[in-house]
Structure 1
Amino acid sequence: MSTADTTYTARRTHQDRFVTLRGLRHHLLQWGDSSLVTPERPLLVMLHGWMDVGASFQFAVDALREERCIVAMDWRGFGLSDNGPSDSYWFPDYLGDLDALLDQLSPDAPVDLLGHSMGGNVVMSYAGVRPARIRRLINLEGFGLPDMPPELAPKRVADWLDELKTPQQLKPYPSLEAVAERLIKTNPRLAAEKARWLAPHWSREVDGEWIILGDPAHKRTNPVLYRKAEIVAGWSRIEAPTLWIEGDSTDITKWWGNRYPREDFESRLGVVKQLERHVLANAGHMLHHDQPEALAAHLENFLG
């Protein structure tokens, strides 16, 4: 790519907001005014995945035909939000941050809640413990993780202790173009002009190099086991109509091999009471980048 090439132009511009949640400054992107919020069209909250940022939803927001108030948050340790106060990140903290966010943005009315990947797992768990706070729920490829049996615990804790002794690092990049190329390497379907638009939202310049806006501590092993039974217990308590969307080219075996067979995930999704499912053609895990128009059409039909 060359700097002479075009960059994506956003159809809907966002406002940057900052709120303090549980002692940490969090960055929000807001599209549309709060005056657009009604009981039939409540606030839509979007939550990104691991090593991503809230701006990642820009292409899907642009593809929506109708104006509504939308907020995307950078999780703690990502984007322009503060890093965590410790040297590790815990899944319950994401739930706590989301609860505090809704306390500020919509304390008295349910919201429509969307999450991608890690964010999809957070919103599913949250909807199970705070069912009354969600009107409609959307999960974009939040598959979760393989069940972890108890005998894995000692080694995971030992790995975590070992990793605490060594600072984690992310590779720096010499230019924004190099960041955009890295985004395309991760997702070859990502159009070059979109990669250029994302690059400055995904990184910042420090001493002549471009650093990814993600705390390297996210790379550490999590010593807390992922327990399927606990996840299923939460998902079974979801009351909101739920939309599941995945890309037709997503292959979860490349992440976990045979440790997480598809039928295992299907058994988890099967406990959700009101479930609508769609598969997007020519889309992978970053389906909101690959097919934003098709995604937006499903969102509008589902959200009404």
Structure 2
Amino acid sequence: MYQVKRIAQSTHVPIRTLQYHVQVWGEPAAGKTPLVLVHGWMDVAASYQFVVDALSADHYVIAPDWRGFGRTQAGDVDHFVFADYLADLDFLLDHFAPNQPVNLVGHSMGGNVVMAYAGVRPERIRRLVNLEGFGMPATVAAQAPTRYARWIDELKALHLGQRELRSYDSLDGVAQRLMKTNPRLSRDKAEWLASHWSSRNAQGRWEILGHAAHKITSANLYRVDEALALYRNITAPVLNLIASDNSMELFWKGSYGLQEFQERMKAVPQLETEHIENAGHMLHHDQPERVAAVMERFIA
């Protein structure tokens, strides 16, 4: 199994109505800017371990499990709202870095969160790194009736037990699933991730540490004009890291592409873009040394 170089301290902190699980590497110190890493959809904070191990300097690193992921409970809910991630992050920064801006990194869904948050609280961010946080296809008001209907139908399916996440008969089965999703992921890393990405239930099967309600379609349409307004309000320099494999075509099947995303990013006042070669969407797993080096250079 993968040999960890930097050991994370595990803690729980009160964030709104939840006890948030947070991984912390290093110690706070005068003159040391906190490095906050937020994960993507159906992922966990421990996913950043490989990048943390590849950092050359001694950083104070904070990585939460989002609500309903990892070891942060979901609360008494049957769906999740994007705005809650922004509020959770704000409360988290109040706890760990109340009097200083942070270097903020987000992957995938987490990249979308940090881009929006930086437009809402620009004064809280010193440097921002977006790892493949592309946003979503544009929507129009006419889609609202069918979107609400789909949301309600999916809620009903959840309550009927029809949207449960798949479980696995062994930890190796979870590792195999991770390697199938990402062929670049080595077995040692997959086995290590599997032990943090899942847990054994009362029946002896391994369950993914993600609430099934995360798979429910959002009731709200994605408004590009709103996203651009947030981007324009970002005052921190932004580093946009894009993997060499174009995941956009796989995700959105032609309804939204890399060129459109790059056009949207022109709204960001201070933007730097860099490509990570020989990497897919999980670029922090595929090329952790390269991601760490580019990130450290940017926040130095």
User: TM-score higher than 0.5 here?
Assistant: yes
Task: Find 2:27's aligned residue among 9, 24, 33.
Answer: 33
**What aligned pairs does 1:1-304 form with structure 2 within 5 A after superposition?**
7-35=1-29, 37-38=30-31, 41-167=32-158, 168-206=163-201, 207-304=203-300
Which residue identity does 1:294 align to in structure 2? R
Gapped regions of structure 1 (runs ≥ 5) = 1-6
Q: Is the 8 A contact 2:35 2:104 kept in 1?
A: yes
Distance 1:148 1:84 in 2: 30
Report SS of the residue matched to 1:244. strand
Within 1, Cα distance between the matches of 2:75 and 2:222? 21
d(CA) in 2 for partners of 1:8 and 1:262? 33
Q: What letter corresponds to residue 87 of structure 1 in structure 2?
A: D
Helix, strand or coil: the match of 2:113?
helix
Q: C-alpha offsets along residues 252-272 of structure 1, whole Å, 9 cap, x if unaligned?
A: 111112211333211211111
Q: Secondary structure at the match of 2:252?
A: helix
Number of residue pairs aligned between Structure 1 and Structure 2: 295
State the Cα distance separating 1:164 from its structure 2 match: 1.4
Conservation of the 8 A alpha-carbon contact between 2:200 and 2:206: yes
What do residues 21-45 of structure 1 show as CA deviations (whole Å, max 9, x unaligned)? 011111000000113x52xx30000
1: distance between equivalents of 2:55 and 2:231? 28
Structure 2: runs of 5 or more not aligned: none
Cα distance in 2 for partners of 1:84, 1:223 equals 19
RMSD: 0.9
Q: What amino acid is aligned across from residue 15 of structure 1 in structure 2?
A: Q
The alpha-carbon deviation at position 163 of structure 1 amounts to 1.4
Contact 1:250–1:283 under 8 Å retained in 2: no
Query: What amino acid is the match of 1:267?
Result: E
Which secondary structure does the structure 1 equivalent of 2:254 belong to? helix
Tell me if the contact between 2:101 and 2:123 (Cα under 8 Å) persists in the aligned partners.
yes
TM-score (normalised: structure 1):
0.95
- CA–CA distance in 2 between the matches of 1:250 and 1:12? 31
Kept in 2: contact 1:24–1:82 (CA 8 A): yes
